[in-house]
Amino acid sequence: MNILLLGSGGREHALAWKISQSPLCGQLFIAPGNPGTASCGTNISLSLNDFSAITNVCLEKNIEMVVVGPEDPLVNGIYDHFQGDDRLKSIIVVGPSAKAAQLEGSKAFAKAFMLRNDIPTAAYREFTADSYDEGVDYLKQHSLPIVLKADGLAAGKGVVIAQSHEEALATFQSMIKEAQFGKASEKVVIEQFLSGVELSVFALTDGHNYVLLPEAKDYKRIGEADSGPNTGGMGAVSPVPFAQGAFMEKVIERVVEPTISGLSKEGLIYHGFVFFGLINVNGDPYVIEYNCRMGDPETEVVMPRLASDLVELFVAMHQGGLSSSHIQIDARSASTVVVVSGGYPGSFAKGKPLTGLDHSRSEQTLVFYAGIAEQGGQLVTSGGRVAAVTSYGDSIADAVEHSLNAIAHIKYENMYFRRDIGYEFKV
Ligand code: AMP
Ligand code: GLY
């Protein structure tokens, strides 16, 4: 079958790499893709929120499956768009309905869903301009640190962990009164700070049945030892050593199953990936956030460890026949180290010539392109996160070492990366 994959980052390169290996995959198109995805299929230039351009591509290319990488088109209703058009209805869309995508699109929606379904998460309150003064009083008596979250999508920048009441009040004011994130911060969730190690758990579901994919841990801070500002993700490892036994049983019983049965009970149509952003608080899992798509850079370690055919999984999902017998996992560890443009996540230069990517690849190392473009036959940087260098290894330490050795071949001006990915698990 012909497949259209939407997106253009490292996540989509990893998905394209995996999808293109399936015997069920006919032609693979990636829109808009990047020079890396072009080695797995055919790139098509379009805007992800231009649903009529996507419709035309589906009709022209006889697309039978659409895999949605990022959250924006999902929150904007791409699933519903396909269901509402007789010409597109029969196409398998991997991604939830707009209503269900609110699990990521609205923090307040997600919190209320968790409360209704008895899913462990930080205690919270939500406020708007109408309840501003109440919010100020609430903040003043809240214990520190205080977590403030813009309700809507804010490109990963909508969460502030305030260390003082002054900072919390200033953040609250700029989110609500100054519309710091536009409509996304018209509502603000204020929640209890949880302390522990985070991990990302992924399910593929049809809204009733589900399978779990390999879990991962990502490293969000720009600096080593988890210092400095948050980024889209500087690296990831899989497996996560503590994600097994009793802890994983709690994750399944307290989080995954109530989430899937909550979707089903509440009639939320969901055919796609659920990303559970969890935190391990003294052996108990709590949900920090839901995302309605795969993580980036987690996908760059999850897909390499998934030994099963991904397209077969998507077909099983569509037919309502997902079962754990579909999941085979590579026993090796995987790590990915993201190379970024110096200055990221602040301002950074683009268009820097890039060399050595081919040399960095080997039997154990894959390179997934993110912010890379082609200019006159030369690869140049085009984003903050430039590439995700993924390696297999017998242990996490081994996998990370392979990635770091491979990165030694990559050259561009002002390249930066973290050398300590997986540090907690190397001993
Ligand atoms: P989010 O955008 O919801 O993923 O939040 C970004 C990051 O903020 C998370 O990955 C956590 O590191 C942190 N965070 C969010 N909520 C909390 C919380 N309640 N307690 C501690 N850290 C949090
Ligand atoms: N790595 C976190 C995310 O994709 O949101």
Q: Whose CA is nearest to atom 3 of ligand 1?
A: 289
Q: Is any atom of ligand 1 closer than 6 Å to the C-beta of 159?
A: yes
**Helix (H) or strand (E) run with residue 291 in it:** strand 284-291
The answer on pLDDT for 328 being more than 90 is yes
Residue with tokens 């010539």: 353
pLDDT of residue 252: 98
Alpha carbon of 260 to ligand 1 centroid (Å)? 22
Model confidence band, residue 427 (pLDDT cutoffs 50, 70, 90): low
Which residue out of 282, 289, 291, 293 has the highest number of ligand 1 atoms within 8 Å of its CB and is therefore the one to mutate?
A: 289
**pTM of the full predicted structure?**
0.96
Would you call 150 helix, strand, or coil by DSSP?
Answer: strand
End-to-end CA distance of the chain: 45
Q: Whose CA is nearest to atom 14 of ligand 1?
A: 288
CA nearest neighbour of 44 among 80, 3, 76, 91: 3
| Token representation of residue 254 | 């307290």
Q: Going from the N-terminus, what domains does the chain have, and what CATH number goes with each?
A: 2-87 (3.40.50.20), 123-192 (3.30.1490.20), 197-324 (3.30.470.20), 333-425 (3.90.600.10)
Angstrom distance (rounded) from CA 363 to CA 50: 39
Q: Is any atom of ligand 1 closer than 6 Å to the C-beta of 423?
A: no
Strands (E), 8-119: 28-32, 42-43, 63-68, 92-94
pLDDT of residue 155: 81
Average pLDDT over residues 372-387: 96
Q: pLDDT (tens digit, 9 = 90+) per residue, 105-146?
A: 999 999 999 999 999 999 999 999 999 999 999 999 999 999
The Cα angle at residue 12 between residues 285 and 97, in degrees rounded to 5: 65
Alpha carbon of 231 to ligand 2 centroid (Å)? 9
pLDDT of residue 182: 85
Alpha carbon of 232 to ligand 2 centroid (Å)? 6
Q: pLDDT (tens digit, 9 = 90+) per residue, 171-198?
A: 999 999 888 888 898 999 999 999 999 9
| Token representation of residue 199 | 């991990």
Q: Is any atom of ligand 2 closer than 6 Å to the C-beta of 258?
A: no
Percent of the chain predicted with pLDDT > 90: 94
Residue with tokens 């899989």: 238
Angstrom distance (rounded) from CA 276 to CA 263: 14
The answer on pLDDT for 42 being more than 90 is yes
Model confidence band, residue 236 (pLDDT cutoffs 50, 70, 90): very high
Percent of the chain predicted with pLDDT > 70: 100
The answer on pLDDT for 156 being more than 80 is no
